[in-house]
């Protein structure tokens, strides 16, 4: 752009080297520029040349920030805003729109638990590459996953917004399909999200499903092999313990995913996202405090826990806001644990494979922690 402006300025000087008086020319002629007009234009062009234009790096950073902004706003506000908008339209002349959409939701109620409506084009959006590069997010493969099996991938830790799980298992930006050819990845989330208008369509189009037995069972039994269902096992309870420098997982009593794996013969695969807990700062209330009690009760009633967290602002990384900090996230996918198919597994069998899974997860964490930002003394706390 600067080159074009400089060329225009030189062209003006070469075309009108001497002052000319302005005179009107009829019949389609032109009006020559006066010396004052030429000087004004040349001054304006030189001013534009002097202005610091954004570099390619600056433009890339802006696109990354916008990509993250749209994602955060979509997950935090899209469902609520859509619901309020439809309620408002009920009391206007456009009342037929929410009525028809409500009828559609009733007709389409079970779709999220029956395979959904995944759109491959949405997973390949260029915006997800900018989203990936903002942190950046990286996916690391340690072992092959055979397309002849189905898998349940345990995703740890939850963090605040599960950025690593979303970027790796929902978007195609980190190359999951290239690293694991023949494997289709899915991610589960709260079932209540699929009751919110428009937000449910957004989630299904990306390949998200409710974290229910029916939905997971459908993916593992009705769509052949080569399916990998990622579950953020710690859930909302784990998000309450999310803070930089501390790695605490809620896992000891979370055995439902192991039971599902046994019923369908799906292999268990541990994965860990190093850096997930560094994206936000959270006000953590001590166990036993009245604020922690309120969070626990809200979690039991609504399915998610209200966290008091903050990140960076929109205009500066030094200000506070709701955007995540730009911290690298590396998701390491571990070795698959072979699981037999047992229609009605006993408690002892579930406990056995649960212990094997925890052992595999600890091994994965300890072998990779020093490679991705942690020290040798850092430990994984499992509650």
Question: Which pair of tokens denotes residue 218?
Answer: 């459908």
- On whether the CB atoms of residues 115 and 223 are closer than 8 A, the answer is yes
Nearest to 306 by CA among 160, 190, 171, 178: 160
Q: Are 279 and 243 a contacting pair, CB within 8 Å?
A: no
Radius of gyration (C-alpha) of the chain in whole angstroms: 28
Coil, helix or strand at residue 146: coil
Which is more confidently placed, 279 or 317? 279
The DSSP line for 200-267 is HHHHHHHTEEESSHHHHHHHHHSS-S-EEEEEETTHHHHHTT-BTTB-EE--TT--HHHHHHHHHTPE
DSSP conformation class of 29: -
Q: Is residue 176 over pLDDT 90? A: yes
Mean pLDDT rounded to a whole number for the chain: 85
Q: Cα(first)–Cα(last) distance of the chain, in Å?
A: 58
- Report the C-alpha gap between 256 and 236 in whole angstroms: 16
Cα–Cα distance, 133 to 309 (Å, whole number): 23
Q: What are phi and psi of 374, to 5 degrees?
A: -105, 165
Q: Is the pLDDT score of 98 beyond 60?
A: yes
Per-residue pLDDT tens over the stretch 371-382: 998 888 888 889
pLDDT tens per residue, range 116-175: 888 888 888 999 999 999 999 999 999 999 999 999 999 999 988 899 999 999 998 999
Task: State how far the Cα of 174 lies from the Cα of 184, in Å rounded to an integer.
Answer: 14
- pLDDT, one tens digit per residue, over 337-346 is 999 999 999 9
CA nearest 162: which of 219, 215, 113, 233?
233
pTM of the model as a whole: 0.83
């Amino acid at each position: 752009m600067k080159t074009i402006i400089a060329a225009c300025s030189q062209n003006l000087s070469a075309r009108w080297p001497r002052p000319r008086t302005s005179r009107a020319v009829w019949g389609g002629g032109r009006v020559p520029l006066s010396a004052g007009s030429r000087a004004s234009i040349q001054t304006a062009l030189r001013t534009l040349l002097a202005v610091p234009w954004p570099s390619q790096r600056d433009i890339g950073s802006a696109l990354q920030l916008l990509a993250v902004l749209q994602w955060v706003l979509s997950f935090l506000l899209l469902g609520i805003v859509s619901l309020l908008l439809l309620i408002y339209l009920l009391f206007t002349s456009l009342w037929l729109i929410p009525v028809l959409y409500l009828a559609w939701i009733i007709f389409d109620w079970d779709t999220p638990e029956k395979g959904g409506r995944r759109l491959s084009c949405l997973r390949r959006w260029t915006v997800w590459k900018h989203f990936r590069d903002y942190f950046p997010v990286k996916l690391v493969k340690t072992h092959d996953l055979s397309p002849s099996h189905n898998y349940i991938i345990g995703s740890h830790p939850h963090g605040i917004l599960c950025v690593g799980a979303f970027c790796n298992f929902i978007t195609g930006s980190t190359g999951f399909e290239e690293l694991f050819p023949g494997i289709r990845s899915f991610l589960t989330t709260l079932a209540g999200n699929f009751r919110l208008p428009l937000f449910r369509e957004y989630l299904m189009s990306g390949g998200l499903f409710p974290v229910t037995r029916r939905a997971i069972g459908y993916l593992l039994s009705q769509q052949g092999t080569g399916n990998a269902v990622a579950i953020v096992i710690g859930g909302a309870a784990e998000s309450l313990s999310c803070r930089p420098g501390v790695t605490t997982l809620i896992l000891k009593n979370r055995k439902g995913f192991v039971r599902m794996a046994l019923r369908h013969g799906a292999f268990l695969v541990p994965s860990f996202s190093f850096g997930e807990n560094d994206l936000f700062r959270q006000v953590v209330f001590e166990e036993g405090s009245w604020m922690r009690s309120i969070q626990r009760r809200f979690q039991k009633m609504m399915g998610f826990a209200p966290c008091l967290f903050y990140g960076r602002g929109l205009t500066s990384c030094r200000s506070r806001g709701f955007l995540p900090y730009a911290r690298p996230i590396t998701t390491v996918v571990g070795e698959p644990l072979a699981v037999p198919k047992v229609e009605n597994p006993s408690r002892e069998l579930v406990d056995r494979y649960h212990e094997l899974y925890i052992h595999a997860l600890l091994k994965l964490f300890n072998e990779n922690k020093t490679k991705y930002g942690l020290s040798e003394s850092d430990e994984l706390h499992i509650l």
